[in-house]
Amino acid sequence: MTDFLWGAATAAFQIEGASTEDGREASIWDVFCQVPGAVANGDDGTVATDHYHRWEADVALMAGLGLQAYRFSVAWPRVVSADGTPNAAGLDFYERLVDGLLAAGIEPWLTLYHWDLPASLPGGWLNRATAERFAQYALVVHDRLGDRVRRWTTLNEPWCSSMLSYGAGVHAPGHADPTEALTAAHHLLLGHGLAARALRDADASASIGITLNYTPAVPADPTNPAYIDVVRRVDGTAHRLFTDAVFGRGYPADVVADAGAAWPAEAVRAGDEAVIGAPLDFLGVNYYTTEMVRAGVPAGPSPHVTAPEAEVVPRGLPTTDMGWEIDPDGFARLLGRLHDTWAGPAGVPIYITENGAACADEPDADGFVDDTDRIAYLDAHLAAVEEARGAGADVRGYFAWTLLDNFEWAFGYAKRFGIVRVDEELRRIPKASARWFAQQIATGRLGAPRS
């Protein structure tokens, strides 16, 4: 298949380590990791997979797998200091990496923000000024790498960095307030729009996109109006709020109405929605699972800020090691919806920027993991991509999450998503899934046909 791009994805904080080297300053995740109980086992990102020092071997590993593209993120606190000045030593690292990728024939897909906000920015995403600082940071990175990097993603999963971070309190900075969550979402989206415009002005031929995550909700009882309404509200803040806004449609009226007094009316200024709706060249889609929900009783802080009573009902489907139910059919349906509702009408292609599974890997004596469960997950989801393409969805590529076992946020190193094992000595040992993935790339096969 020639019109399809194969890659793997990572994120700076999850793999780099070297958290104080070459002038890197603290991110909100460095701070959050110090909060007792915030991250499993008290894990942090000071060493991670030590990719900062091992990047060359990691690029060789990618080349060995035949990756055509590599999606990575730049750590903002590595490349811009608290006073706003560029940090040349931090930029040098990404320049080495990008040059190494290009020399290996691997296309760099650069994400500007994968959650590691500089801790020095006052108020974080609650402060409108952070959106402006983000656009300035985007230009700093573009100044150095714009002649070599063609693919620019502004944000990874702004739902997570607003609703999980400021609404549910489970991601940095660990706040739990619906208005804060919606304010953060708005400032993230504003930052996206300002950065997209700045990049476009600086570089007319750059390809610019955003990555959004989708966890489709289905009602536990499709005849129960209360359940149908809870699904509408979950979908509203999780999906339509972000997708409508970035496709230039402004914020959905029902989400604003549902939020009521929690809607950050002062933060959303005249003209902001137009900035957020800056034209895009691609939509990045991250997919892991779907959820069956019902209307229950609110139990503590929820990421579903307009549907705190949403309660997940297990369907008895097989689950990954995250406890997430495996639903490739839901993936095919989602891609159809995204194409029909947003991407298709805008003429924007879709790239799967993350999909993968945490598995309870059991290495043999040599450290090799025969992860048939992960292979089955990837195979079924690639088949779903094939199915969606067959039905007309313009999906142009797939990045496996993730290249290396790494820091899985609040779960620390306990959850392993890698197609390559990283052991206690930080050795890289390709799993069976890595060999399988390399084979898929080599043959261009999207997945076994499903019955």
As given in the structure block, the two tokens for residue 46 are 């000071």
Q: Whose Cβ is closer to ligand PNW: residue 142's or residue 416's?
A: 416
| Closest approach of ligand PNW to the CB of residue 417, in Å | 6
Of 210, 332, 349, 224, nearest to 278 by C-alpha is 210
354 is a catalytic site residue: yes
Residue 291 contacts residue 218 (beta carbons within 8 Å): yes
Shortest reach from residue 302's CB to ligand PNW, in Å: 12
Does 156 contact ligand PNW by CB under 6 A?
Answer: yes
Q: Is the dihedral of CA 38, 39, 40, 46 positive or negative?
A: negative
Q: Which residues 79-118 are close enough to bind ligand PNW by CB under 6 A? A: none
Residue with tokens 């050795």: 427
290 binds ligand PNW (CB under 6 A): no
In the complex, the smallest distance separating the C-beta of residue 174 from ligand PNW, rounded to whole angstroms, is 15
Name which of 151, 278, 286, 144 is nearest 213 in CA terms. 286
Kindly state whether residue 243 participates in binding ligand PNW, applying the rule CB under 6 A. Answer: no
Among 161, 213, 243, 302, binds ligand PNW (CB under 6 A): 213
φ, ψ of residue 254 to 5 degrees: the values are -70, -30
Q: Which of 16, 157, 273, 311 binds ligand PNW (CB under 6 A)?
A: 157
d(CA 326, CA 412): 22
Interface residue with ligand PNW among 25, 258, 272, 354 (CB under 6 A) is 354
Shortest Cβ 444–ligand PNW spacing (Å):
26
* Binding-site member from 215, 302, 355, 433 for ligand PNW (CB under 6 A): 215
**Contact in structure between 332 and 386 (CB atoms under 8 Å):** no
CA pseudo-torsion sign 369, 372, 376, 379: positive
Which of residues 6 and 29 has its CB atom nearest to ligand PNW in the complex?
Answer: 29
Catalytic residue (one of 16, 25, 354, 386): 354
How many other CB atoms are found less than 10 A from the CB of residue 33? 22
State which H helix or E strand residue 151 sits in: strand 151-156
Nearer CB in complex with ligand PNW: 118/167 = 167
- Least Å distance, CB 413 to ligand PNW, is 12
Rule CB under 6 A: is residue 162 a binding residue for ligand PNW?
no
The residue (of 275 and 376) whose beta carbon lies closer to ligand PNW is 376
Name the one range near ligand PNW by CB under 6 A: 18-26, 153-161, 312-320, 432-440.
153-161
Nearest one of 85, 70, 96 to 18, comparing CA atoms: 96
Closer CB to ligand PNW, 179 or 355, in the complex:
355
Minimum distance of ligand PNW from residue 168's CB (angstroms): 8
Secondary structure of 344-384 in HEC code, one letter for each residue = HHHCCCEEEEECCCCCCCCCCCCCCCCCHHHHHHHHHHHHH
Shortest distance, position 215 Cβ to ligand PNW, whole Å: 5
35 contacts 42 by C-beta, under 8 angstroms: no
What DSSP string describes 380-449?
HHHHHHHHHHHTT--EEEEEEE-SB----GGGGGGS---SEEE-TT--EEE-HHHHHHHHHHHHT---PP
Amino acid at position 277, single letter: G
Position among 401, 413, 436, 437 found at the interface with ligand PNW (CB under 6 A)? 401
User: Out of 116, 311, 321, 408, which residue is the one contacting ligand PNW (CB under 6 A)?
Assistant: 408
Residue with tokens 């889609």: 285
* Neighbour tally for 136: CB within 10 Å: 14
The piece of 136-144, 154-162, 273-281, 308-316 that touches ligand PNW (CB under 6 A) is: 154-162
If one asks whether residue 154 binds ligand PNW (CB under 6 A), the answer comes out as no
User: What is the set of active-site residues?
Assistant: 354
- Binding footprint of ligand PNW on the chain (CB under 6 A): 11, 14, 156-157, 160, 213, 215, 286, 354, 401, 408, 417
